Each structure stands twice: as structure tokens, then as C-alpha cells.
Amino acid sequence: MHIINLQKNITIALPKGRIATSSLALFEKICGTDIKFNDRKLVSDYKKFRFLLVRNQDVPVYVEHQASDLGIVGLDVLEECNSKLVRLLDLGIGKCKVVVGSPKYNIIDTTKPLLKVATKMVNIAKSHFASQAMAVEIIKLYGSIELAPFVGLSDVIVDVVETGSTMKQNALKIDEIIMHSSAYLVANPYSFYKKRAEILAISEQLSLLINHKE
Ligand code: PRP
């Protein structure tokens, strides 16, 4: 394994939650050291690397504003926020699907004048139903989306499915897959221009790692 020594400082926004451990593990390998966030600290420095621990949906915000040069973020989040970041590499981790789901024993009534859709992915949901010429009322939620049809808040949901157990345990079925997603390494376009050698070296090492060539 070639351990990277950077000439310029590079900041990387890592997502909290499910892909935190696997994305951190990739950087631990290319840095050749453990990367620890002590207690509730959200920053960790190692040589020229600075790692930030942020909410998944906030990763593109940090990178777009160049508070971070690089980020790791799901394709679903990138599509939802319509970000213009440089997509460098599909890391193949955090695989999931964005789906339309509804109660197990119901058939979606597509003739209903206004289908109620609960989701935290408003833009993906809007453009999906628009492409099918279906009139929908989007109800924005921030989590526990699977609860909405159960209590009559919505007819269907648009949400992320990974293992499928949340939908299953809440008596929902998948009606349609809107997109497949996995975590991407993304860069701020200006950082990519200014720190091209460093960013390409990191991307190349990660690529070798995930393709088991190292
Ligand atoms: C996501 C998603 C589902 C769940 C799916 O929620 O919104 O609720 O994961 O995962 P599964 O298919 O493995 O069961 P998350 O855990 O991020 O929490 P949230 O409801 O607060 O958004």
C-alpha cells in the first residue's frame, strides 16, 4: 500500500451514520494510521489531512462552499440537492435504493386526483412523479418516513431502502425503484483546479483500494 504524503492541506467531509465507519476505514488505509474523532469532536487532523464529521445531507454544502475540498456522499443526496460537484469516484459502499413504497395490501390508486407522497427527498420525488404525469402532494418529513402511510399521513412514500427491514417491519412494499445509489468521492471544482495533484492522488489510491489492487 502506498501511503499518501500530501504537499497541500486537504479537507475531507465524511458523513455521519451508516457509511461513516467504512469511509473512515478507506482513509485510514491510505493514511496508514487510525483516524479518531475524540469524544464529541467533529474535526480530526492527521498531517496534511483534515477530516470533518458532518450530516450526510450537509456534505455537499460543505464541499460546495469550499469549507471542505473533498466529501464522501451518496449519489441519492447529490441528485436530491442537484449539486455541481466534481464526481471523482464511485466508492461502492453505502449501496441503497430510492424507492416508491406503499402499504403491503394496497394497490396504488393512480386515478386519485392527488396522491399524497411523504418523503425527505422532495426533489427526487417531484421529478419522478412529474415524469409519470402524476399529480402529487409532497409532504416533507425529516425521518421515520415509513410511519406516514400507517397513520394516514400519506398514500405512498419515497424513501431510501438499504436492507429493506424498516419497510418490512412497517408493512410496506416496494412498488418501484427510482434509482440505485452508492457513496461517491466528490470535489469542489475550484479545489480540484488548485489541488489537482493531491486530489487525484487520493482518488487513485482509493480506486486501487476498492478494486483490491493494493
Ligand atoms: C433510512 C431510510 C429508512 C431506513 C432504511 O433512514 O429513511 O428509514 O434508513 O434502511 P433499511 O432498508 O436498512 O431498513 P435512517 O436510518 O437514515 O433514519 P431516518 O428515518 O431518521 O432518516
Closest CA to 42 of 16, 17, 6: 16
pTM for this prediction: 0.91
CA distance 107 to 109: 6
Ligand 1 contact via 160 beta carbon (within 6 Å): yes
Closest CA to 14 of 56, 64, 76: 56
pLDDT computed for residue 1 by the predictor: 59
Ligand 1 contact via 203 beta carbon (within 6 Å): no
pLDDT computed for residue 214 by the predictor: 53
pLDDT tens over the chain, length 214 residues: 567 778 889 999 999 887 888 999 999 999 888 988 888 899 999 999 999 999 999 999 999 999 999 999 999 999 999 988 999 999 999 999 999 999 998 777 767 789 999 999 999 999 999 999 999 999 999 999 999 999 999 999 999 999 999 999 999 999 999 999 999 999 999 999 999 999 999 999 999 999 875 5
| Cα distances (Å, whole numbers) of residue 153 to 89, 102, 131, 167, 168 | 38, 12, 24, 16, 18
Burial class (CB in 10 A: 0-12, 13-18, 19+), 65: exposed
Q: How far is the CA of 195 from the centre of ligand 1 (A)?
A: 35
Cβ 155 vs Cβ 112: under 8 Å = yes
Ligand 1 contact via 145 beta carbon (within 6 Å): yes
Ligand 1 contact via 164 beta carbon (within 6 Å): yes
pLDDT computed for residue 104 by the predictor: 92
Ligand 1 atom 21: residue of nearest CA: 143
